[in-house]
Amino acid sequence: MELHVNGETLHFAKDTMTMLDLLEAYDIEEKVAAVEKNKEIIRKTDYSQTNLEDGDRIEIVHFVGGG
């Protein structure tokens, strides 16, 4: 399937995956500040139950510590 992540179109071999799968694929789960799916914010506790579908638009914002 195809997902639009932070404005980039990405292709995945899997046909079903959850938000948690996606974040784990990037290995950034613990630094994630907020995640939106199709403009709707997703709570951390819901990542594993949030199914992603072909064409979904995902925004992932992650924390950085520098300054």
Partner 1 sequence: MIKQRYSRQELFAPIGTEGQQKLANKHVVIVGAGALGSANGEMLARAGVGKITIIDRDYVEWSNLSRQQLFTEEDAAHAHTKAKAASRRLQAINTSITIEGVVEEFAAETAEVFMEDADFVIDGTDNFNTRFIINDACAKWRVPWVYGGCLTSYGIVLAIMPGKSPCLQCLIDQIPQQGRTCDTVGVIAPAVQITAAYQTAECLKYLTGYEMSQELLNFDVWERKHVAVNVSPLINPYCPSCSAKATYPFLMKQQGIQTAVLCGRDTVQVRPAQTNTLSIPALAKQLKPFSDSMKDNGELLIFTIKKNRFVVFQDGRTLIHGVSDVEQAKKLYQRYIGA
Nearer to partner 1, 8 or 15 (CB): 8
Report the residue from 11, 15, 54, 67 that binds partner 1 according to the rule CB under 8 A.
67
- What gap in Å lies between CA 25 and CA 20, rounded to an integer? 8
Residue 26 binds partner 1, judged by CB under 8 A:
no
Residue 6 binds partner 1, judged by CB under 8 A:
yes
Residue 36 binds partner 1, judged by CB under 8 A:
yes
DSSP E strands in 12-56: the ranges are 17-18, 32-37, 40-42, 51-52
Pull the structure tokens for residue 41.
């914010």
Report the residue from 11, 15, 30, 54 that binds partner 1 according to the rule CB under 8 A.
30
Q: Is 10 helix (H, G, I), strand (E, B) or coil?
A: strand
